[in-house]
């Protein structure tokens, strides 16, 4: 983490969207360029679902970022998006209100929330794997296979990995960056898995804790 | 074991969330499966109320690939189904294939607390007060409506608690329920209208805690059958409507060598209360198991919101009722109607046992109304996740209920929270959501 990076906190006992946004921003602040840019911003940006009541507000106050539930009064920029399909192929582009009046805030936040590109899913796998190094629920090795191009990425000790996760790049990116719940993605068919059920279920727990920004050591 | 005239046997157990699950067997098959019982996939105890497999953790009690567990019938619970006398019904407990009780079997978790109590030389007597709502619509109609737009029996207007003058509107259902309870051998003591439109209460007689919980599970079935018979529906949701919520209060007395321990003299009552309050935050997770439970868990809604006790104080978590001799008891008021009766009794016993074993003194009693208090007063957890965290951190309850149960329960409550916010509403709206009604109305 960049030493001058803004401190990211979120509402105690907040709903998942708050924790997911907070966790994502906290990880993003590891990038000194993004952290430096965010450290100079001030204002409130709200993210609102167009298909449900989910909403959260990110308050940036030069050096600190705090995420709360709902659309806060005075949010200068409001982003409305289909949170169920965001990041998937063909998903509708988010609508942004207030960007003209608060261009720096809108641009800075959009970069902070943009996340990696789909082709960068191996880096996301590495990040989650590293984050969970103290978690006893982490499997003995993981092979991730991109069904778009057959590319494989293996993490863990030498030998046959205990688990495999397969899927298109956009879906792999979503589950390994914490933008999608691995369990839901499995059940709904966005990704597939090979491996024994206990290890898979425990790994869903690891990915869920990562998604919600919890301590890496379970 | 099967009475003459039986053409079918039904074995029921409850999941952690409370629904009864099991199988209907031919008498021959039933006799052949004894004493181990009938096989069910262990998935039955690791799925949520929508039937979705719970992913994210794995208990050691589980088979690696959705394998079998046993539902072992308790022979002492055999009784003819009131609605079909040729069906003999048993309640049972879930075991591993080697016969070991599963750590997540609600009935076994309660049984273990009763055995712990016995090792200290005590026996408990327990009685549940079961609150519920009746609606004008049949269960079929309610399903078609997605459990929305339902009319509480007697109309949606305000009403008085204990009102009796509208008896003709609900007596047919109560009479049918009483008829079934009598055939099930369940001594009931009282029915009354409660404070919210469509809300009623059924008081069952005291018994040992396992029997009291068995009776409550079956009483819920009797109420469902009676409501069905009369074209109505019943729900044990904690707060299906904006009015008062429904509780599952547990009256409990402690005995040693046939003598009551909660009457004047002795330390048992104080330590019991002390242990109950010391574990109240974690116990609330079991007593308020659903998203909807916490809609009841607010001030002035008849549920306790503070870890307090007091003599004949209905606002506190633990109400002591001083009466001469064996009538002296404590009323544990935290549980919502949607809680599993076995687990409510288990967590109450585990808390009280901790008090007895560790000689925990209670705080000063509350003589005031413990609602609407300013900041600075200790409060019970206000959300399903906060209560689960409290249980996860409670070493006393872990010791009593077992790590296997606590770990599974805590994860399952976090799962419930995640499902609500994934499929339902986020953030919490003030009103009960359609998601809650669809998920809980007929299953808790």
Q: Does A130 touch chain B (CB under 8 A)?
A: no
pLDDT tops 50 at residue A124: yes
Tell me the C-alpha distance between B125 and B127, whole Å.
Answer: 7
Among A53, A186, A205, beta carbon nearest to B57? A205
Q: Does B425 touch chain A (CB under 8 A)?
A: yes
pLDDT tops 70 at residue B400: yes
Q: Per-residue pLDDT tens for B6-56? A: 999 999 999 999 999 999 999 999 999 999 999 999 999 999 999 999 999
Per-residue pLDDT, A38:
84
By CA distance, what is B407's nearest residue in A?
A218
Tell me the C-alpha distance between B30 and B104, whole Å.
Answer: 24
pTM above 0.90, yes or no: yes
Q: Per-residue pLDDT tens for B257-290? A: 999 999 866 799 999 999 999 999 999 999 999 9
The phi, psi pair for A64, rounded to 5°, reads -145, 150
**Per DSSP, what are the bridge partners of residue B329?**
B321
**Per DSSP, what are the bridge partners of residue A192?**
A166
Mind telling me how many Å the CA of B418 is from chain A's nearest CA?
Answer: 7
Contact: A196, B65; criterion CB under 8 Å: yes
For chain B, what is the mean pLDDT? 94
From the list A91, A113, A116, the residue with the least C-alpha distance to A45 is A113
Angle between helix B341-358 and helix B268-278 axes, rounded to 10 deg: 120
The phi, psi pair for A58, rounded to 5°, reads -105, 120
**CB atoms closer than 10 angstroms to residue B207:** 18
**Per DSSP, what are the bridge partners of residue B235?**
B133
Q: Per-residue pLDDT tens for B381-395? A: 999 999 999 999 999
Chain B residue numbers touching A193 (CB-CB < 8 A): none
By CA distance, what is A180's nearest residue in B?
B422
Per-residue pLDDT, A218:
40
What is the complex's ipTM, to 2 decimals? 0.89
Tell me the C-alpha distance between B440 and B288, whole Å.
Answer: 13
SS3 A202: helix
């Amino acid at each position: 983490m960049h030493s001058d990076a803004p401190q990211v906190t979120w509402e105690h006992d907040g709903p998942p969207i708050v924790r997911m946004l907070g966790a994502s921003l906290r990880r993003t602040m590891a990038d000194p360029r993004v952290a430096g840019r965010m450290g100079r911003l001030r204002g409130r940006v709200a993210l609102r679902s167009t298909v449900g009541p989910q909403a959260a507000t990110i308050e940036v106050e030069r050096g600190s970022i705090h995420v709360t539930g709902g659309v806060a009064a005075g949010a200068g920029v409001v982003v409305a998006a289909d949170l169920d399909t965001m990041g998937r192929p063909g998903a509708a582009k988010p609508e942004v209100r207030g960007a003209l009046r608060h261009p720096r805030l809108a641009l800075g936040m959009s970069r902070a929330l943009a996340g990696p590109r789909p082709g960068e899913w191996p880096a996301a796998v590495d990040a989650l794997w590293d984050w969970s190094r103290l978690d006893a629920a982490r499997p003995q090795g993981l092979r991730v296979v991109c069904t778009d191009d057959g590319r494989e990425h293996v993490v863990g000790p030498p030998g046959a990995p205990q688990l495999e996760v397969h899927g298109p790049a956009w879906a792999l990116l979503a589950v390994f960056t914490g933008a999608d719940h691995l369990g839901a993605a499995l059940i709904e068919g966005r990704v597939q898995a090979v491996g024994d059920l206990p290890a898979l279920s425990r790994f869903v727990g690891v990915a869920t804790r990562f998604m919600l920004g919890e301590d890496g050591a379970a | 074991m099967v009475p003459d005239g039986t053409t079918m046997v039904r074995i029921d157990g409850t999941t952690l969330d409370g629904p009864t699950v099991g199988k209907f067997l031919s008498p021959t098959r039933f006799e052949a499966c004894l004493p181990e019982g009938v096989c069910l996939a262990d998935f039955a105890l690791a799925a949520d109320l929508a039937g979705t497999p719970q992913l994210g953790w794995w208990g050691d009690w589980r088979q690696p690939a959705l394998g079998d567990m046993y539902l072992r019938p308790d022979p002492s619970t055999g009784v003819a189904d009131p609605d079909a006398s040729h069906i003999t019904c048993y309640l049972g407990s879930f075991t591993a294939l080697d016969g070991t009780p599963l750590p997540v079997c609600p009935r076994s978790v309660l049984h273990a607390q009763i055995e712990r109590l016995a090792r200290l030389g005590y026996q408990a007597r327990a009685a549940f007060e079961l609150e519920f709502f009746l609606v004008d619509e049949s269960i079929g109609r309610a399903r078609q409506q997605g459990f929305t737009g339902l009319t509480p029996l007697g109309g949606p207007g305000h009403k008085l608690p204990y009102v009796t003058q509208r008896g003709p509107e609900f007596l047919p259902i109560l009479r049918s329920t009483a008829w079934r309870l009598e055939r099930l051998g369940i001594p009931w003591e009282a029915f009354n209208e409660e404070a919210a439109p469509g809300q009623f209460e059924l008081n069952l007689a005291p018994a040992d805690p396992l029997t009291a919980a068995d009776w409550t599970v079956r009483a819920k079935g009797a109420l469902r059958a009676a409501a069905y018979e009369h074209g109505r529906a019943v729900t044990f949701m904690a707060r299906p409507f904006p009015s008062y919520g429904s509780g599952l209060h547990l009256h409990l007395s402690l005995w040693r060598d046939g003598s009551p321990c909660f009457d004047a003299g002795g330390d048992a009552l104080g330590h019991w209360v002390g242990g109950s309050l010391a574990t109240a935050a974690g116990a609330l997770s079991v007593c308020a198991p659903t998203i909807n439970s916490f809609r009841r868990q607010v001030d002035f809604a008849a549920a306790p919101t503070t870890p307090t006790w007091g003599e004949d104080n209905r606002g506190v978590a633990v109400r002591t009722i001083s009466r001469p001799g064996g009538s002296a008891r404590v009323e544990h008021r935290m549980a919502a109607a949607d809680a599993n009766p076995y687990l409510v009794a288990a967590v109450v016993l585990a808390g009280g046992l901790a008090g007895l074993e560790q000689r925990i003194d209670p705080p000063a009693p509350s003589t005031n109304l413990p609602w609407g208090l300013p900041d600075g007063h200790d409060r019970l957890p206000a959300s399903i996740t906060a209560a689960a965290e409290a249980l996860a951190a409670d070493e006393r309850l872990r010791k009593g209920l077992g790590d296997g149960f606590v770990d599974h329960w805590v994860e399952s409550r976090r799962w419930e929270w995640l499902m609500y916010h994934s499929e339902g509403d986020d953030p919490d709206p003030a009103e009960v959501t359609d998601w809650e009604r669809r998920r809980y109305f007929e299953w808790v």
